[in-house]
Amino acid sequence: MYELYGISPGEDHYVHLIDLLCRSGKFSKAKDVIQTMPFEPGAPIWEACLAGCRIHGNLDFGIQAVERLFELAPQHDGTYILLSNMYADVGRWGDMAKVRKLMRDRGVKKEPGCSWVEVENNVHVFLVDDTNHPLVQAVYNYLEELGLKMRKLGYVSDTMYVLHDVESEQKEYVLSTHSEKLAVAFSLLKLPLGATVRVFKNLRISSCVRSPVACQMENLSYKGAKKAI
C-alpha cells in the first residue's frame, strides 16, 4: 500500500481488511494479519473479529475477541449481546444467562433497537413488540393476514434467529413483532403500490446488516403480497 500509494495503513485500514476476512470465514488469514500489524490491535479490530465469528459460529475465536474487548471497552453493550447470541445459537442457555447477568452487574444497558420509515413526509418509528404507534394494531392485523397468505404459498418462519429458549409458537410471535417487520408492513399499508420502501435502523443487526427475517418479509411482500390483499 505504501509502495503503490505512499500511504501507511492505519488501524482503520486494518479494521476493514480484517472485517472482510472474518465475514468471509477466513479466520486464519485474519489472525495472521493481526499478528503482523505494526501496533497492538484495538477494540475496533476485535469488534470486526467478533462480528465475523457471530456470522460463522466460531465460538472459540469469538470468546477470544470478547476477552480482549472486555479489557479494552468493558461498557460496550454490543460485545455482551453478540456473545450471548452466539451461546444461544448453540443452545447454551445457561452461558447466555451468565453473560446477560454479567452485563447487568456491570451496569451495561442495551440500546433499544428501532426501525423507522418515512410515509407522506412523516417519520414513523417502531420498536420491537410496539404498542405506542397509533396505527400499530392495524399493522399487526395486516401482518397476521399476510402471514396466512405467505404460509399458503409454502413460507415457513425461520425461527433460528430467535435467540430465546421458548417454544416454536412463541418464537414465531417474537418474529411477528420485530421492529423491521412492523416498519415494512406499515409501509406496505400506506405507500402506493410499486413505491420504494426504505427502512432505517439505529443498530447494526447480527448475521447481516438487515435482519434475515425482515429481508424475507420484504422479498415476499414485494412480489405481489399487497396486490392479493
Give the tens place of pLDDT for each residue, 132-177. 899 989 999 988 888 788 778 776 655 444 444 444 444 444 445 6
Q: 141, 131 in Cβ contact below 8 A?
A: no
Report the range of poorest mean pLDDT among 24-28, 163-167, 201-205: 163-167
Q: Which residues contact 229 (CB under 8 A, 6 or more apart)?
A: 142, 145, 146, 149
**Which phi-psi region, left, alpha or beta, contains residue 57 (left: φ > 0; alpha: ψ -120 to 50)?**
left
Question: pTM of the entire structure?
Answer: 0.65
Q: Is the pLDDT of residue 68 over 50?
A: yes
Give the C-alpha separation, 185 to 173, whole Å.
15
Please report the pLDDT score of residue 229 as a whole number. 35
